[in-house]
Amino acid sequence: MGDSTKKWFSLNLGNSNTKPSGSCGCGNPSGGCGSHNSENADVNAIGEERHKDGFEQVFDVKMDRRSAFKKLTASLMVGAGAVTTSCSVIVGEETKEKAQIDWEEQFKGNYKLMSDEEKNGTVDRLVRSYQLRTGKTISLSSKNAEEDVLFGYAFNISKCQGYMDCVTACVEENNQDRSSQMEYIRIHEMKDGKGFNFNEADDNYYHEVPAEGHFYMGTQCFHCDNPPCVEVCPVQATWREDDGLVVVDYDWCVGCRYCMAACPYDGRRFNWSTPEVPEEEVNKNQHYLGNRMRKKGVVEKCTFCVQRSRAGKNPACVEACPTGARIFGNLLDPDSTIRWVLENKKVFRLKEDLGTEPKFWYFMD
Amino acid sequence: MKDKYHILYTLSGLFLVASFFSSCKHQEHEYHSITDKIEAESKNYQGTSISSEDFIGDIKTLEISEGAHTFLIPERKSQIKSYACTECHSKSLAQMQNGNEAKKAHWDLRLNHADANTMNCVTCHDGSSMDNLTSLTGNTLGFNHSYQLCAQCHTSQFDDWKGGAHGKKIASWAPPRASMTCVNCHNPHNPGFKSRWPARFNTQTEKERR
């Protein structure tokens, strides 16, 4: 149908080429819906099948002049630093190496697109960089998701006493910023008989616990199977791994905090300042997607302690809980305790009606 | 010309119907819900390469089978400081009570577990053979299997513990399952959890919300 036959006035908003009709109920011709992916090979967004290296991922995307200049300037700064140090005869070998690392880190790609080799490369660079800066050696893992594993969590509301040992263990394990006292876990003190009323609950109490007439309910990132935070990320710096963990690439995050707005559970935290952890308190057993040191202006959250859980250990909160209110395990293992809980206790999740499918269940004795 | 439009309309109509039936199937939304996904994907569960054995460490364990559940619990006897009890308690309780020279022992233990009508020392300890425990019906139970004593009254907790809803696992989520036994968390003489102050208080949050 040409424009001449049109009986109504339509506003030209600049998209002159009309959308080709989609082949699917979602109406979206590409990208947004998974059923197109086989036909559409030439999609620009990061995360599509064609492999792009870091440089392409930085520059081979549509951007306006301002952000293009910003990126170029940032890269040029690093480049200039690298050039001056490498050409200079005065600076030591270490400074040159540091500049080299900075250069390569600047142009590395999105972690989720990296091959195992590239993952090891960036991990080695980050370990070396930490060594050069602090003189200390960390162990940084890039372990991938294990086959046949889907992590799930259950929280026993009748057992939690509100001791907050989990919160302390979490902060120590995950190297959260000490100055802003960032905490992934919140324990909500709720009045008996008022239901799950988060508006009236107190998540920063300080008195002898358990308080008379109250119960305690912990929240953290629920690692939704249909995570809204992942959907809204404009740069695909956060995604769901095959073992169900929703993770963040801190080096790819631009700090827009869309994910924080999208999360219905207040699961994400933002680094308003450069995170500080006293050197002697740094947990040196780290994972790229987990508790490695973050920088200013990136979002972070609970990763079910990916550095521990992928190795086979329980997350720090589970280990620290003195009451056994926290249960963690493999949802795909029919003999696991988490499966027994799901099949034999009366479990529920928060805001189930949103369809986010959190993998974090609550139950009572 | 009219024919052309007719074909177009028919095609678009067919397309509408088709799109109605083929609802949008996102890659990640292959299943209707997470429970469906778990059920489907665990059907051909092969097991993982990860084992809990690396994390149990020096803890000596023993395997128990209760109902449909078989798992490891920590061995207890080697953890009791002055086991065997008969190293001191050479006489039975009855003989000790008869003698005048009886020394008062375990004076620091105060039983705070149910009331005096329900429990005293010999409800669990075997008065005639101190190295063992005794069930309500007088059967001998070893210290390694003390959970069987607890299960006599705490039946619902026992069911939850067997399944894994009550209590903690040792170090790892991976199989083989190793769980703590009752006395690893509860003092049998004083089993309740005490009230205390929280481990931390967030002064920054307090400031921000003021």
> Residues B142-152: pLDDT tens digits?
999 999 999 99
Residue numbers in A near B68 (CB within 8 A) = none
**B window 165-204, beta carbon within 8 A of A:** 165-169, 171-175, 177, 179-180, 185, 193, 195-204
| pLDDT of the residue at B173 | 97
β-partners of residue A190 are A215
Cα–Cα distance for residue pair A223/A209, rounded to 1 Å: 28
Residue numbers in A near B26 (CB within 8 A) = 33-35
- State the Cα torsion A296-A300-A303-A308 to the nearest 10°: 10
Beta-carbon separation of A333 and B47 below 8 A: yes
Instruction: Determine the distance in angstroms separating the CA of A194 from the nearest CA of chain B, rounded to an integer.
Output: 22
Cα–Cα distance for residue pair A265/A220, rounded to 1 Å: 8
Cα–Cα distance for residue pair A73/B3, rounded to 1 Å: 60
- What class, spelled out in words, does domain A143-365 have in CATH? alpha beta
CA angle, residues A110, A112, A117, in degrees to nearest 5:
90
| pLDDT of the residue at A34 | 44
Residue-wise pLDDT tens digits, B164-196: 999 999 999 999 999 999 999 999 999 999 999
Q: Which residue of A lies nearest to B8 if distances are taken between CA atoms?
A: A1
Residue numbers in A near B204 (CB within 8 A) = 180-181
Helix (H, G, I), strand (E, B) or coil at B204: helix
| pLDDT of the residue at A236 | 96
pLDDT (mean) for B16-22: 60
Chain-centroid distance, C-alpha B137? 26
Q: Is the pLDDT of residue B64 over 50?
A: yes
Beta-carbon separation of A225 and B49 below 8 A: no
| pLDDT of the residue at A14 | 54
User: Looking at the partner chain, which of A146, A333, A359 has a beta carbon nearest the beta carbon of B34?
Assistant: A359
Residue numbers in A near B175 (CB within 8 A) = 333, 335-336
Residue numbers in A near B168 (CB within 8 A) = 318, 321, 324
- Residue A54: which H helix or E strand, with range? helix A54-59
ipTM: 0.85
Beta-carbon separation of B198 and A164 below 8 A: yes
Cα–Cα distance for residue pair A306/A143, rounded to 1 Å: 9
| pLDDT of the residue at B27 | 52
| pLDDT of the residue at B91 | 79
| pLDDT of the residue at A309 | 97
Burial B149-177 (b: 16+ CB within 10 A, else e): bbbeebeebbebbbbbbbbbbbbbbbbeb
Do residues A344 and B203 touch, judged by C-beta distance below 8 A? no
Chosen from A147, A357, A360 to mutate, greatest number of chain B CBs within 10 A: A357
Q: Is the torsion defined by CA of A275, A277, A279, A284 positive or negative? A: negative
Cα–Cα distance for residue pair A74/A72, rounded to 1 Å: 5
Q: Which residue of A lies nearest to B38 if distances are taken between CA atoms?
A: A332
Map tokens 């995050």 to a residue: A253
How many residues comprise chain B?
Answer: 210
**B window 28-47, beta carbon within 8 A of A:** 28-29, 33-35, 37-38, 41-42, 45-47
Residue numbers in B near A313 (CB within 8 A) = 55, 171-173
Going residue by residue through chain A, which has 365 residues, state the pLDDT in tens, using 9 for 90 and above. 444 555 555 556 555 444 444 444 444 444 444 444 444 444 455 555 556 666 677 666 677 777 777 777 777 777 777 666 666 666 688 888 899 998 999 899 999 999 999 999 999 999 999 999 999 999 999 999 999 999 999 999 999 999 999 999 999 999 999 999 999 999 999 999 999 999 999 999 999 999 999 999 999 999 999 999 999 999 999 999 999 999 999 999 999 999 999 999 999 999 999 999 999 999 999 999 999 999 999 999 999 999 999 999 999 999 999 999 999 999 999 999 999 999 999 999 999 999 999 999 999 99
Beta-carbon separation of A34 and B27 below 8 A: yes
Instruction: Determine the distance in angstroms separating the CA of B123 from the nearest CA of chain A, rounded to an integer.
Output: 26
Q: What stretches of chain B adopt beta strand conformation (E)?
A: 61-66, 69-74, 133-134, 140-141
Every domain range in chain A assigned CATH 3.30.70.20: 143-365
Beta-carbon separation of B34 and A26 below 8 A: no
| pLDDT of the residue at A94 | 85
B54 touches chain A (CB under 8 A): yes
Give backbone dihedrals phi and psi of A328, rounded to 5 degrees, phi first.
-130, 145
Residue numbers in A near B166 (CB within 8 A) = 156, 159, 324, 365
Instruction: Determine the distance in angstroms separating the CA of A293 from the nearest CA of chain B, rounded to an integer.
Output: 21
User: Looking at the partner chain, which of A24, A148, A324 has a beta carbon nearest the beta carbon of B168?
Assistant: A324
Helix (H, G, I), strand (E, B) or coil at A155: strand
User: Looking at the partner chain, which of A23, A168, A333 has a beta carbon nearest the beta carbon of B175?
Assistant: A333
| pLDDT of the residue at B10 | 77
